[in-house]
C-alpha cells in the first residue's frame, strides 16, 4: 500500500525526519521487501526434541507469534507499551528500532503535555512500522489509546483522505469516532497480546464492537 511519508512543516510536532503517521489499516505486515535467502540450510532434528525455542532479542523485547503466523515484538516502557513486527533478530534493525524508540521517548518527554494525553503503559500503545526506504530505514507510527479505544498521532493526520476518501458527508464527531474505533480494533487484530496484557475478560460492549469491526 502506498503511504504518505511527508513530514509536517510544524517542527513542534515532528518526532524526527524518519517518522510519518500511519493508521493501523496501513500497517505493512504483508507488504515488506524483506526476502529469505534462496539457500537450503542443513538441519537435523535430534531424537526426542519437542521444544523449538528462539533466543529473545536483546534490550527487553519480548517475541510473540500472531495466529496468522507472523512474529511481532513487545516492549514495556513507562510511557507506553511498544509493538513492532520489524525483524529484531537483525542487529541493524534492532539498533535502528531502539533509536526510533528513543526519539519518541524524548519527544513525549518534551511535548507530551501538548498532546493532552496521559502517557503510561496502562493507557497507551505505541506501534512502530519500521520499513526500508531507498537505502535507509524509516518509521511509520501511531498511538492507541486503550481507555477510549481510539488511535492518535503526534502529527496532523489527513483522515478524510486516508481513511474515508470514498465516503461522502462525513462531518459528525460520531462518524469519526466510529472510524477511529474501527482502527483501534484493527490495531488489536494486528497485536492481539495488547488486549490480553491488560484485560482478562472483554466487556460485552467490546465484544460487540470487535464483531462489528470484523463484519465491516
The domain spans of the chain are 15-29+61-215
Are 7 and 14 within 8 A, CB to CB?
yes
Q: What whole-number distance in Å separates Cα of residue 105 and Cα of residue 99?
A: 10
Who wins on pLDDT, 20 or 174?
Answer: 20
Q: What is the pLDDT of residues 62-100, one digit of tens each?
A: 999 898 888 899 999 999 999 999 999 889 999 999 999
Pairing of strands 62-65, 150-152: unpaired
Distances (CA, A) of 107 to 110, 131, 151: 5, 21, 18
Question: CA geometry: angle at 91 spanning 87 and 93, to 5°?
Answer: 50
Q: What whole-number distance in Å separates Cα of residue 123 and Cα of residue 67?
A: 25
> Locate cell 493501523: which residue?
24
In this prediction, residue 4 has a pLDDT band, given cuts at 50, 70 and 90, of low
3-state secondary structure of 139: strand
pTM above 0.85, yes or no: no
Residue 45 scores a pLDDT above 70: yes
Amino acid at each position: 500500500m502506498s503511504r504518505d511519508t511527508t513530514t509536517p512543516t510544524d517542527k513542534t510536532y515532528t518526532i524526527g525526519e524518519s517518522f510519518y503517521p500511519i493508521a493501523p489499516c496501513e500497517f505493512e505486515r504483508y507488504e515488506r521487501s524483506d526476502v529469505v535467502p534462496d539457500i537450503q540450510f542443513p538441519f537435523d532434528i535430534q531424537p526426542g526434541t519437542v521444544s523449538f525455542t528462539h533466543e529473545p532479542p536483546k534490550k527487553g523485547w519480548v517475541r510473540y507469534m500472531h495466529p496468522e503466523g507472523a512474529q511481532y515484538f513487545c516492549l514495556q516502557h513507562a510511557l507506553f507499551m511498544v509493538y513492532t513486527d520489524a525483524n529484531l533478530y537483525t542487529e541493524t534493525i534492532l539498533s535502528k528500532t531502539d533509536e526510533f524508540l528513543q526519539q519518541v521517548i524524548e519527544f513525549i518527554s518534551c511535548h507530551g503535555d501538548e498532546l493532552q494525553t496521559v502517557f503510561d503503559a496502562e493507557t497507551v500503545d505505541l506501534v512502530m512500522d519500521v520499513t526500508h526506504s531507498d537505502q535507509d530505514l524509516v518509521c511509520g507510527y501511531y498511538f492507541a489509546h486503550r481507555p477510549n479505544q481510539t488511535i492518535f498521532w503526534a502529527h496532523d493526520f489527513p483522515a478524510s483522505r486516508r481513511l474515508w476518501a470514498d465516503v461522502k458527508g462525513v462531518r459528525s464527531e460520531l462518524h469519526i469516532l466510529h472510524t477511529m474505533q474501527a482502527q483501534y480494533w484493527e490495531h488489536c487484530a494486528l497485536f492481539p497480546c495488547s488486549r490480553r496484557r491488560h484485560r482478562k475478560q472483554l466487556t460485552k460492549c467490546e465484544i460487540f464492537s470487535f464483531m462489528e469491526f470484523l463484519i465491516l
